[in-house]
Structure 1
């Protein structure tokens, strides 16, 4: 089933299936609720899904991060959440979703991406804790990472930022 899959934007009629996938991947409804709230609040920048035919394999979401102190012209996106069907994890689907999403964010002119996640997983895409030290927020800590999407992104740093309001439910 995963030898070939397609990456694309989800359709509105797939939102329920995405919620089901998120609930299964995270063993609870919190991330599905987060994605729904990001959509409703208008903070969602980008969603991508991995599909094989009609089967939903994975999902990634990026939302707007707001500068609260510093260069407010910098465009920052937060990666969260990333999910792959539990029975299909470790087969490259998540990596493909991350690479595809970051490529699209670059195309859209985003300067930075941030993530709170596995420090053994996300550095392979270019995320670093070192760069994240120049981005202050309530999520700062050992699992907070950032990556430049634009060649001169570091000229905007340091900054303090706030994640979209729905993230406050998880702090």
Structure 2
């Protein structure tokens, strides 16, 4: 329900359900106000194919906040908490397709993603590295993204 409201339709909710069903969710966090879900962030497995090697990374999508909880720091808290957990788990790179003005506060940079190729490459593709990670290669998202 939250994802359908936040994105004006079922696409992101369907994506999230398919990522779960396929076993491609690496981390999913929710924020609650009493018993009501007011925020969610999902990171799924992403593979980077480079010359002679593949590298695991994560893709941030989706992130959503209930309309009446926006601008209260819910998404910021979810993303920051998720990043800490991902780093502790040994993840070294995350990509996101979104507004640079918003995601740059979490370390995402358009420049860091420019060496990658994907169907969604462009001015909204961003990456953040938390250690040694490739700077070039083909991004292979979970199959659920192909069904959007």
- Normalising by the smaller structure, the TM-score range is over 0.9
Distance 1:103 1:46, change over 3 A: same
1:53: Cα distance to partner? 2.3
1:71: Cα distance to partner? 6.3
User: Counting strand residues as a fraction of each chain, which structure ranks higher?
Assistant: 2
- Partner SS, residue 71 of structure 2: coil
Map 1:152-163; keep pairs closer than 5 Å. 152-153=132-133, 156-163=134-141
1:85 and 1:133 map into 2 onto residues whose CA distance is 32
Map 1:160-171; keep pairs closer than 5 Å. 160-170=138-148
Kept in 2: contact 1:79–1:113 (CA 8 A): yes
Are residues 1:21 and 2:28 paired? no
TM-score (normalised: structure 2) = 0.94
- Partner SS, residue 47 of structure 1: strand
Kept in 2: contact 1:134–1:158 (CA 8 A): yes
2:8 and 2:103 map into 1 onto residues whose CA distance is 21
1:66 and 1:103 map into 2 onto residues whose CA distance is 20
Counterpart for residue 80 of structure 1: 61
1:142: Cα distance to partner? 0.6
1:137 and 1:39 map into 2 onto residues whose CA distance is 22
Give the RMSD, CA atoms, in angstroms.
1.3
Distance 1:106 1:70, change over 3 A: farther
Dislocated runs of 4+, deviation >2 Å: 67-75
Kept in 2: contact 1:66–1:76 (CA 8 A): yes
Moved more, 65-74 or 46-55: 65-74
Match of 1:124 among 84, 99, 105: 105
- Partner SS, residue 121 of structure 1: helix
Distance 1:71 1:92, change over 3 A: farther
Match of 1:104 among 61, 79, 85: 85
Match of 2:96 among 115, 118, 133: 115
Matched pairs, number: 148
2:146 and 2:54 map into 1 onto residues whose CA distance is 23
- Structure 1: unaligned runs, 5 residues or longer: 1-19
